Amino acid sequence: MRYTEIHFTISPYNEAAADVLAALLADSGCDTFEPTDNGLTAYILQSSFNEDAIKEAVTTTISTFACGGTSGEELAITFTAETAPDENWNACWEAEHHFEPITLPDGQQIRILPRQAFGSGEHATTRMILKLLAEVPLTHATVIDAGCGTGILGIAALKMGAAHVFAYDIDEWSTLNAEENYSLNGVLDAEAAEIVLGDASVLDQAPKADVVMANINRNILLADMPAFVKAMKNAAQLVLSGFYEADIAPLTQRAEALGLKLTATYADGDWRALLLNNVHTRA
């Protein structure tokens, strides 16, 4: 398979902006990322490369920080694209990166082989949700992992007592990686886990959940929240992350309009997470 190599320069360099850009690029088909001193390098199959989609990811990242990002300086992002050498990029990336097992709040460990650096368990948003899961009743719970990425959150939920996880992602690369990581951790069981390719519309086929987890960007959370609520049981809990302080107000307003109640707010550096309860009473 031939890849296109895309070099991004972020000025002034901002790690949070690089994380947001990587997440948006993953949605556009990029499947491997390398951090650089002044930005990042992304790789995408030549057949999937769409310059307009890449430009949109750049524009969205810039507008995100213009509307409440972490730096008062004006952000600029430029990129160049070229054909990558004909190599097995995934194998090269694995050889150059080593990730230690992730220790859960209860002491258990998870091994993750991330095909993308975003999703290794080292990011602040993932750390917050992993800590937060220790405060959510998971024993025998049914859990939805929205935008599952590498599968780390669903694996953690199963390790911490959940009975079933329904995980989905719009990126086929992510669902395949999640399956690999579920298997690596001994939880790829037909009764315990479903991993589905698609967007929030696949929640129509999901079992009603006690807990829904979504570590995605603000705009997708706002758009998909009605689908999350529809998939939740009475008194179920919704765990959200992937956004900043300035995003809390629109997210909580949307949540309250859908019958959710904010229980707690969490912070890790510039990133935020929310825990919400479903206060609807439905038959």
The reported pLDDT for the residue numbered 85 is 72
pLDDT in tens, 50-86: 999 999 999 999 988 875 444 456 899 999 999 887 6
User: Are residues 82 and 128 part of one domain?
Assistant: no
User: Are residues 207 and 191 part of one domain?
Assistant: yes
Whether residue 164 has pLDDT greater than 60: yes
Q: Is 132 contained in some domain?
A: yes
User: Are residues 267 and 160 part of one domain?
Assistant: yes
The reported pLDDT for the residue numbered 172 is 82
User: Are residues 59 and 105 part of one domain?
Assistant: no
In the chain, % of residues over pLDDT 70: 88
Q: Is 161 contained in some domain?
A: yes
User: Are residues 11 and 137 part of one domain?
Assistant: no
User: Are residues 254 and 186 part of one domain?
Assistant: yes
Query: Comparing 30-39, 97-106, 144-153, 188-197, which segment has the lowest mean pLDDT?
Result: 97-106
Note the Cα 51 to chain centre separation in Å. 23
Give the mean pLDDT of the chain. Answer: 87
The domain total for the chain is 2
User: Are residues 108 and 48 part of one domain?
Assistant: no
User: Are residues 165 and 66 part of one domain?
Assistant: no
Confidence band, pLDDT 50/70/90 cuts, at residue 119: low
Q: What is the dihedral of CA 26, 31, 34, 35, to 10 degrees?
A: 10
Calpha distance 232→214 (Å, rounded): 13
User: Are residues 91 and 122 part of one domain?
Assistant: no
The better pLDDT of the pair 68, 45 is held by 45
**pTM to 2 decimals?**
0.72
Confidence band, pLDDT 50/70/90 cuts, at residue 88: low
Q: Which domain covers residue 159, as residue numbers?
A: 99-278
To which H or E segment does residue 218 belong? helix 218-230
Whether residue 246 has pLDDT greater than 70: yes
DSSP label at residue 114:
-
The reported pLDDT for the residue numbered 121 is 61
Which residues have CB under 8 Å from 70's CB, separation 6+? 14, 16, 244, 270
Q: Residue 193: beta bridge partners?
A: 165
User: Are residues 83 and 176 part of one domain?
Assistant: no
Q: Could you say which of 39, 64, 95 is where a domain stops?
A: 95
Q: Could you say which of 95, 110, 127 is where a domain stops?
A: 95
Q: Is 182 contained in some domain?
A: yes
Q: Is 128 contained in some domain?
A: yes
SS3 242: strand
Q: Which two tokens stand for residue 3?
A: 């890849």
Q: Is 144 contained in some domain?
A: yes
Whichever domain contains 59, its CATH number is: 3.30.70
User: Are residues 107 and 28 part of one domain?
Assistant: no
The highest-confidence range among 104-108, 209-213, 266-270, by mean pLDDT, is: 209-213
Q: Is 149 contained in some domain?
A: yes
User: Are residues 103 and 86 part of one domain?
Assistant: no
pLDDT in tens, 125-162: 898 999 999 989 999 999 999 999 889 999 999 999 99
In the chain, % of residues over pLDDT 90: 57
Calpha distance 49→279 (Å, rounded): 43
pLDDT in tens, 218-227: 888 999 999 9
Q: Is 283 contained in some domain?
A: no
Q: Is 213 contained in some domain?
A: yes
